[in-house]
Structure 1
């Protein structure tokens, strides 16, 4: 798979990991702290406890501790969410990161998933679709040392630790919400680009997290098939 921003992307993964290593290591080392990625339990919407609907992807036996990403997404079988998960899994494998996916059926479940992700202290928490935007926005404002990426949703009030990826209606992946430049609430923090596919758009967004956190990336995907 070819990426236009390969070197910048891998440098960005390293930069995000180094910038947040101190915060996440302190959380993970605490007695009684969260379980490792993909092995913990998430509070169920009914108040009980159940294993999270999660899977992890990693490149394997590379030295050092890999970067960790948590993806929070609706459980509904949406083509865009499936494509998003596949693209992030591919990027995680190629960069040596560990991706944990938490999916929930409703707002309560999404809230529990975001809470579990924050407790795990990953390098990056990724929220997908407008369904997750309220919880991600609120949690980002309450946890300024944690980096967040919101995909296909616009936070009501941005914070410096919340980066946003939106899709221009002139080139928008199937199933994603489409916007125009005029829809962006703050054009001063806007960056625009054209991407070959969803994977490249996500790759650019990860670079954005490392280099320009708290900004908005408006991406037009040239090819969606």
Structure 2
């Protein structure tokens, strides 16, 4: 996958309900359009890191290559893929090493439902040190998001969702022009993945921000749907 590719593509999934694109304000359709645009920027920032931002997931070696990542049409219950998923050969990560991983391939896709959009990006192969690999990816993703004007809110937190059986899952909240965005990631012996999430509706985030515990649960479901046994 080239450095200029984003996580969105052209083949439509099941469309979300049609919306009037006029108007403004956080709760209006115009506000939702603005949030979609901001998510595209944020998703591009994360994708630029994961799939063409000068990264090579490499090392020598523990971990296991028993699982791979896919981009199914539906993840997280009702999030439909918006376009086709992208798959690379892992060599597109460039020449900077992510500590603790040797990649076989990388994947990315954009998803949406009626109230939110999310981007999935990840890689699979052999992950010797999931904690180190994920911590590094979250930090570098934060740097890329900062280049888009995103500001972190609070600190990165670790979660243990009921559906998660990997080694580590963490989340960090950001704001981009007052729009909340959650970035969550996981690491296990075969895969690392990042999920960026933005609510489209005004009620998707409280005055105190996003519910990161719920976003962590969603991330665990996305991982469960995207992660399959390797051939």
Same-fold call, TM > 0.5?
no
Name the structure where helix makes up a greater proportion of residues.
1
TM-score when scaled to structure 2?
0.31
Name the structure where strand makes up a greater proportion of residues.
2
Higher relative contact order at CA 8 Å, sep ≥6: structure 1 or structure 2?
Answer: 2
